[in-house]
């Protein structure tokens, strides 16, 4: 995600300052200044016009202490280091919804006992941010669903691991409706947030005006938006199309009943064993989960341009170029392999 953000905003001609725990590959350094830092520790003060906090431990197998340090404490440290920043964009997750509804709206009630540990950590980070004073600043909380695209080191490796002996081992029949969020759509949504925050300031003069459903937008303190593609997908169909395209042949499904998997996943979780099928991952392919994106369309003029079907050939080509096994292992340099940096004139 961070690599895609650097590409997006560097291509706009904006000055980008990136933070991370490990030194990135050379293409990143050609697009942005870089500061090595661990968000689990206090950070030095950073002067900037907008901060995009996209770092997180996105795991359904990590222990609670690790999730809290990365997702809650890390958010606090970023906030404290950027107190003077007028625009704060926090990348949350659809995991903050409890799964009782098929379609999720930004301000629906949530039973936190039904959330995964990851979802709880993200929800707690949201709550902590909402408690801060935003009277003179803008806070945008964005909730994407299953971010995918070139450089994906979370969703794509997990799907690739479903293929065994030329078959797709499917947890249940996977015939559920789900939103997905292409990384380019998420970057575009973030850009809209930043532009709105500065529409009434001097900085807006250096930004390209945006179209919106509102005649005169002004910073509103706090806004929460779902972010997703314009389409809703059937999980079984997109998994079959993606994996068949990557492997160059039509792969048959082998359905594994959900009931024993749920029981086994629960046992493995209590034993603190990281396995392919955790309770959360099983829920994600056995329950409908669609994000309503009406609010971000109305408030910011958001119009998703990318979708799974139009970007499938590019994603499959990228995986085949690198090799399925390497992508499956989620190599940290994947976002930069075979991707040429875009440097503005």
pLDDT for 104-120, tens place per residue? Answer: 999 999 999 999 999 99
- Give yes or no for a contact between 24 and 7, defined as CB atoms under 8 angstroms apart: no
Q: For 54-74, what is the mean pLDDT?
A: 91
In DSSP terms, 140 is beta-bridged to 89, 223
DSSP 15-42: --EEEESSPPPHHHHTTSEEEE--TTS-
- Give yes or no for a contact between 112 and 98, defined as CB atoms under 8 angstroms apart: yes
DSSP 259-326: HHHHHHHHHHHHTT---S--HHHHHHTTS-BEE--HHHHHHH-------HHHHHHHHHHHHHHH-HHH
Across the chain, what does the average pLDDT equal?
84
**Radius of gyration for the chain, computed over Cα atoms and rounded to the nearest angstrom:** 20
Q: What SS3 class is residue 251? A: coil
DSSP 231: S
Name the burial class of residue 268, with classes exposed (0-12), middle (13-18) and buried (19+) by CB atoms within 10 angstroms of its CB: middle
Assigned CATH for 2-336: 3.40.50.720
What is the dihedral sign for C-alpha 211, 215, 221, 225? negative
pLDDT digits (tens, 9 = 90+) for 231-255: 999 999 999 999 999 999 999 998 8
Q: For 75-86, what is the mean pLDDT?
A: 95
Nearest Cα neighbor of 100 from 112, 84, 89 is: 112
**pTM across the whole model:** 0.87
Helix (H) and strand (E) counts in the chain: 13, 15
Nearest Cα neighbor of 19 from 159, 44, 229 is: 44
In Å, what is the CA distance from 147 to each residue of 33, 152, 249? 25, 8, 25
Q: Which residue has the tokens 């990228």?
A: 318
pLDDT digits (tens, 9 = 90+) for 281-335: 656 667 899 999 999 999 999 999 999 999 999 999 999 998 999 898 877 666 6
Q: What SS3 class is residue 222? A: strand
Distance of alpha carbon 315 from alpha carbon 313, whole angstroms:
6
In the predicted model, is pLDDT for residue 175 greater than 80? yes
Locate the DSSP E strands across the chain: 17-20, 33-36, 50-53, 87-91, 103-104, 138-144, 147-148, 163-164, 167-171, 177-178, 181-182, 222-227, 233-234, 253-256, 290-291
Domain boundaries, the chain: 2-336
Count CA atoms closer than 13 A to 110's CA, side-chain side.
20
Distance of alpha carbon 57 from alpha carbon 71, whole angstroms:
6
What is the dihedral sign for C-alpha 92, 282, 99, 252? positive
Predicted confidence at residue 170, as pLDDT, reads 83
- Give yes or no for a contact between 47 and 84, defined as CB atoms under 8 angstroms apart: yes
Strands 147-148 and 163-164: unpaired
In Å, what is the CA distance from 307 to each residue of 58, 192, 199, 291, 320? 22, 19, 29, 15, 20
Count CA atoms closer than 13 A to 330's CA, side-chain side.
10
pLDDT digits (tens, 9 = 90+) for 90-109: 999 999 999 899 999 999 99
In the predicted model, is pLDDT for residue 207 greater than 90? no
């Amino acid at each position: 995600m961070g690599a895609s953000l650097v590409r997006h905003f560097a291509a706009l001609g904006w000055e980008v300052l990136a933070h991370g725990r490990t030194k990135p590959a050379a293409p990143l350094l050609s697009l942005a200044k870089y500061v090595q830092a661990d968000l689990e520790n206090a950070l030095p003060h950073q002067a900037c016009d907008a901060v995009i906090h996209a770092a997180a431990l996105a795991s359904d197998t990590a222990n609670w202490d690790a999730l809290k340090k990365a997702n809650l404490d890390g958010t606090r440290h970023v906030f404290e280091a950027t107190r003077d920043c007028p625009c704060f964009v926090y990348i949350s997750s659809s995991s903050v919804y409890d799964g009782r509804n098929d379609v999720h709206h930004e301000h629906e009630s949530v039973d936190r006992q039904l959330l995964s540990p990851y979802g709880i950590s993200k929800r707690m980070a949201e709550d902590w941010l909402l408690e801060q004073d935003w009277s003179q600043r803008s806070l945008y909380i964005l909730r994407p669903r299953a971010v995918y695209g070139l450089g994906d080191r979370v969703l794509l490796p997990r799907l690739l691991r479903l293929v065994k002996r030329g078959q797709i081992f499917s947890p249940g029949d996977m015939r559920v409706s789900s939103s997905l969020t292409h990384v380019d759509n998420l970057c575009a949504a973030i850009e809209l947030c930043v532009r709105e925050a500065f529409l009434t300031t001097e900085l807006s003069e250096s930004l390209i005006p945006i179209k919106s459903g509102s005649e005169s937008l002004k910073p509103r303190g706090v806004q929460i938006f779902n972010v997703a593609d314009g389409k809703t997908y059937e999980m079984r169909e997109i998994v079959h199309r993606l994996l068949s395209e990557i492997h160059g042949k039509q792969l048959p499904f082998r359905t594994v009943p959900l009931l024993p998997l749920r029981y086994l996943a629960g046992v493995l979780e209590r034993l603190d064993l990281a396995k392919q099928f955790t309770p959360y991952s099983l829920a994600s392919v056995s329950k409908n989960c669609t994000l309503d994106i009406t609010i971000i369309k109305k408030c910011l003029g958001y119009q998703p341009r990318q979708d799974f079907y139009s970007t499938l050939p590019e994603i499959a080509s990228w995986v085949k170029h690198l090799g399925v096994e390497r992508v499956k292992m989620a190599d940290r340099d994947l976002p930069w392999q075979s991707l040429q940096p875009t440097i503005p004139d």
